[in-house]
Amino acid sequence: MSKWLRAAILALTLPAAPVLGGELIGITPDELETLKVQGVPVVDVRTPEEWRKTGLIEGSKPLTFFDSKGAYDAADWLRRFKAIAPDVARPVVLVCRSGNRTAMVGKMLTQELGYERVYHLEKGLQVWSAEGHKLSPCGNC
């Protein structure tokens, strides 16, 4: 086999990766459970009011991105986020109520900050609860 043919086969069989930044991947509640078992950190970007009202996914880290008025401080949030997920090469999961906020935050992490694998719960905690998954009370929210 020629070296050109081998190179072409290798190029076609390697996993595709975006040229700039990483990958934002939508996941289901069952996929989130699997990632949790594997030790992937879960970050809940909702507001403290939402955490108190519905609770949190057990083991998740509450870290508000947008406040109740939609304002945010990306630099401060990122500083606190890096304490949870310091390595851009390791995966992380984001959750919110409907999946909209996590899609925006996930794009920032992958496209602007170089995080390679950011998962977000598609349709958010609405689908998590609808499918019978449990939430734990947020004791210190």
Is 13 a domain residue?
no
Is 8 a domain residue?
no
Q: Which amino acid is at 102?
A: T
What phi and psi values does residue 29 have, to the nearest 5 degrees? -55, -40
On whether the CB atoms of residues 122 and 99 are closer than 8 A, the answer is yes
Q: Name the domain count of the chain.
A: 1
- Give the global pTM: 0.84
CATH number at residue 111: 3.40.250.10
List 25's β-bridge partners, or say none. Answer: 119
Is 43 a domain residue?
yes
**pLDDT for res 21:** 76
Is 101 a domain residue?
yes
Which structure tokens are listed for 40?
A: 């992937």
**pLDDT for res 60:** 97
On whether the CB atoms of residues 33 and 60 are closer than 8 A, the answer is no
Is 136 a domain residue?
no
**pLDDT for res 20:** 53
Is 140 a domain residue?
no
Is 141 a domain residue?
no
Q: Which amino acid is at 50?
A: E
Range of the domain at 51: 18-130
**pLDDT for res 7:** 36
Is 3 a domain residue?
no
CB atoms within 10 A of CB 129: 14
Could you write out the DSSP letters of every residue in 71-106? Answer: ---HHHHHHHHHHH---TTS-EEEE-SSSHHHHHHH
Q: What is the pLDDT along the chain (141 residues), one digit of tens a residue?
A: 444 333 333 333 334 444 457 999 999 999 999 999 999 999 999 999 999 999 999 999 999 999 999 999 999 999 999 999 999 999 999 999 999 999 999 999 999 999 999 999 999 999 999 999 999 999 888
**pLDDT for res 47:** 97
